[in-house]
Amino acid sequence: MNIEKSESKLVVVDYCRNCSKNLSSNAVFCDHCGGKIIKNRITTKNLLEDFNDRFLSIDAAFPKTFIALYRNPEDVIGGYINGVRKKYMSAFGYFALSLSIAGIYVFILREYFMDSIFENISSETIQNQDQAQLDFVKQFTNSINEYQALLSILSIPILALISRIVFWNYKQFNYLEHVVIYLYAFSHINLTVYILAILTIWSPSIYLFFSFVGTIGYVIYLCYVLKRLYGLSFKKLILKTSLFALIGSIFFLIISILVGIIMFKMGMLDELIENIKAANEVTG
């Protein structure tokens, strides 16, 4: 069977284009490899659908997942760990979505609002500090934003490791299952914070307020998720949170030192150091 290609249809063949095995006449998926049988030519609609299916998996499951991660995070995360796949968005799909929203946020911030936000900071909060210090903060913020996706990716295994150490006496979840916990939890709070940031970025004062609240929100939400997953009492939650903060601080200090050394060795701080020296000479 071989029907010629038309404006909207591909050439119809009786074999799977993925594995070359024979197909039944009305097959929608290949019985051998499971590949979907594509009959239509590429259009904007099906190209976007394919992108969504492969990278984001955004459909009716997204609002359901988003709401459930606030109401019943143990149902989403625990369900995924226990084999549920169709009820909610996958852990990696949700993480990919959060990175996409973060990318949009970083682009909007860098291209349209960064200068106005720092002008507001300069006039309201650091009037007595010199320009070199303000430039340092601005450059540091730009660097963080530039590598935001990479930092998010690296944060997941580190948070999972700290969490596994903190809950060493609980055998409920292994390390990889802790990775799943933070793929969902970290992505969820990121989505919330970045959406709020995009909606409030037009007002520096409101934006800075939500940025501060968002930082606290990370801690509160992660505590909430772990409490629901492990069924912790308030006393145990405080104990585990304190231990998490202690171990996390040690990890942060070590990583900060290593990153600083690497940046210095690679010359990434040279321009910043020169700017600070020049500004000090002018003010001196």
Beta-carbon contacts of 50 under 8 Å, excluding residues fewer than 6 positions away, are: none
Q: Is residue 49 part of a domain?
A: no
Q: Residue 101's closest CA among 7, 188, 221? A: 188
Q: Is residue 190 part of a domain?
A: yes
More confident residue, 106 or 227: 227
Distances (CA, A) of 116 to 106, 122, 134, 203, 212: 15, 10, 13, 9, 18
Same domain for 12 and 87: no
Same domain for 25 and 71: no
Q: How many degrees, rounded to 5, is the angle at CA 160 between CA 66 and CA 235?
A: 80
Distances (CA, A) of 181 to 101, 124, 141, 224: 20, 39, 28, 12
Same domain for 108 and 28: no
Does the pTM exceed 0.75? no
Same domain for 157 and 17: no
Q: Is residue 8 part of a domain?
A: yes
Q: How many degrees, rounded to 5, is the angle at CA 67 between CA 64 and CA 71?
A: 125
Same domain for 143 and 15: no
Same domain for 139 and 92: yes
Is residue 138 scored above 60 in pLDDT?
yes
More confident residue, 70 or 57: 70
Structure tokens at 158: 């580190």
Tens of pLDDT, residues 173-211? 999 999 999 999 999 999 998 888 888 888 777 777 777
pLDDT at 42: 65
The confidence band for 224, taking pLDDT boundaries of 50, 70 and 90, is very high
The confidence band for 49, taking pLDDT boundaries of 50, 70 and 90, is low
Same domain for 175 and 35: no
Per DSSP, the three-state class of 160 is helix
- Distance between CA atoms of 140 and 17, rounded to whole angstroms? 50
More confident residue, 148 or 236: 236
Is residue 104 scored above 80 in pLDDT?
yes
Beta-carbon contacts of 8 under 8 Å, excluding residues fewer than 6 positions away, are: 40, 41
pLDDT at 139: 66
- Could you give the number of structural domains in the chain? 2
The confidence band for 36, taking pLDDT boundaries of 50, 70 and 90, is confident
Structure tokens at 239: 């104990």
Provide the residue range defining the domain that includes 223: 55-283
